[in-house]
Amino acid sequence: MIKDFLSHSFLKPLRQPLRRGYDFLWRSCHEMAYRIGVWTGRRDPLFPPPSLHSVGPYECYTSVGDEFCRYFIEFGDLQAGHKVLDVGCGTGRMARPLTHYLKAGSYDGIDIVEPSIIWCQRTYRTKYPNFNFYFSDIYNAMYNPGGQCHASEYRFPFEDARFDFVFLTSVFTHMLPLDMENYLSEVARVLKPGGRCLITYFLLNPDSSALIDAGKAGFSFRHELPGCRIENPEVPEAAVGYDNDWVRRLFGKYGLSLLEPIHYGNWSGRPDGLSWQDIVIAAKTA
């Protein structure tokens, strides 16, 4: 009804101010409902407020986190006493289920969206002191345009061989080759010998390419850049696909041994995909 009202031509000079006011009121009401829900105990305090980036519906937020927590344990051999690093932790979607599992271990999360990190720091600090969150001031045109460094030059703020398990979910699917390779080298650096990592990709191989050509995939990846294929040339990082064999060689370059099989996802139209994205698990060999 409000949208129909704002569409009248006589309101054209006021349309943008009214729209901004409507959006502000909508966000304020949802924010207040969120806070009341947390205060009264009727809302999960680890579910972030709607004002933060990429939260989505509660059911989706929690189901994806729970899904990957199972993968961490089953495929990554995650133990309750392990030291864990979450690269691209966002609003804590993966951290939330791990609070029930890492009783004797620790969790560190890093992300480039500062408001999300501030919320996580404030929310987890008291009840989960073994969970820590860090802001990475990396340039990103959409999420951190004032960033002070580039991903291709970034060094994780941790010492060598600190972690038993490192994971990146839906991170390398949005990174170009130089950035992605630097991050992978950092994953290898901070992993202990024998430690494992779990990383998601969009992997291009004969099977996924055939499904793309048949129109069954979620992406076409028709645009080629050096070292990768992308979906949208105007926003290259929106979705990035990598050659399957090249990724294998890159892991070997940094002393990471892939643990077979690769768990392919259903983004490409595979009817038996494990998850949405392809999941690669590797162990540090030395």
- The enclosing domain of 107 has a CATH number of 3.40.50.150
Regarding whether 86 and 29 lie in a shared domain, the answer is: no
Regarding whether 129 and 21 lie in a shared domain, the answer is: no
Which of 153, 151, 274 is CA-nearest to residue 203?
274
Read off the pLDDT of residues 44-64 as tens digits, 9 standing for 90 and up: 799 998 888 666 788 889 999
50 in any annotated domain: no
96 in any annotated domain: yes
Regarding whether 266 and 137 lie in a shared domain, the answer is: yes
Regarding whether 148 and 105 lie in a shared domain, the answer is: yes
Regarding whether 107 and 35 lie in a shared domain, the answer is: no
How much is the average pLDDT of 234-245? Answer: 95
46 in any annotated domain: no
- Cβ proximity of 217 and 268 under 8 Å: yes
Regarding whether 110 and 219 lie in a shared domain, the answer is: yes
User: At residue 134, what are phi and psi to the nearest 5 degrees?
Assistant: -135, 135
48 in any annotated domain: no
Q: Which residue has the higher pLDDT, 211 or 34?
A: 211
Q: Rounded to whole angstroms, how far apart are CA atoms 240 and 228?
A: 7
Regarding whether 67 and 17 lie in a shared domain, the answer is: no
Neighbours of 69 (CB within 10 A): 18
52 in any annotated domain: no
Read off the pLDDT of residues 102-125 as tens digits, 9 standing for 90 and up: 999 999 999 999 999 999 999 999
Does residue 14 carry a pLDDT above 90?
Answer: no
Q: How many domains does the chain have?
A: 2
**pLDDT-based confidence at 4, cuts 50/70/90?**
low
**pLDDT-based confidence at 75, cuts 50/70/90?**
very high
Regarding whether 90 and 30 lie in a shared domain, the answer is: no
Does residue 280 carry a pLDDT above 90?
Answer: yes
45 in any annotated domain: no
51 in any annotated domain: no
Regarding whether 226 and 177 lie in a shared domain, the answer is: yes
127 in any annotated domain: yes
Regarding whether 165 and 238 lie in a shared domain, the answer is: yes
Q: Which residue has the higher pLDDT, 210 or 6?
A: 210
- Cβ proximity of 139 and 149 under 8 Å: yes
- Cβ proximity of 65 and 96 under 8 Å: yes
Q: Which residue type sits at 140?
A: N
Q: Rounded to whole angstroms, how far apart are CA atoms 116 and 40?
A: 23
Regarding whether 62 and 173 lie in a shared domain, the answer is: yes
The neighbouring-strand residues paired with 83 are 106
- Cβ proximity of 185 and 151 under 8 Å: no
Q: Rounded to whole angstroms, how far apart are CA atoms 46 and 238?
A: 27
The whole domain housing 277 covers: 58-284
Q: In the 8-state DSSP scheme, what is residue 80?
A: T
- Cβ proximity of 269 and 218 under 8 Å: yes
- Cβ proximity of 242 and 204 under 8 Å: yes
Regarding whether 35 and 62 lie in a shared domain, the answer is: no
Read off the pLDDT of residues 142-189 as tens digits, 9 standing for 90 and up: 788 899 999 999 999 999 999 999 999 999 999 999 999 999 999 999
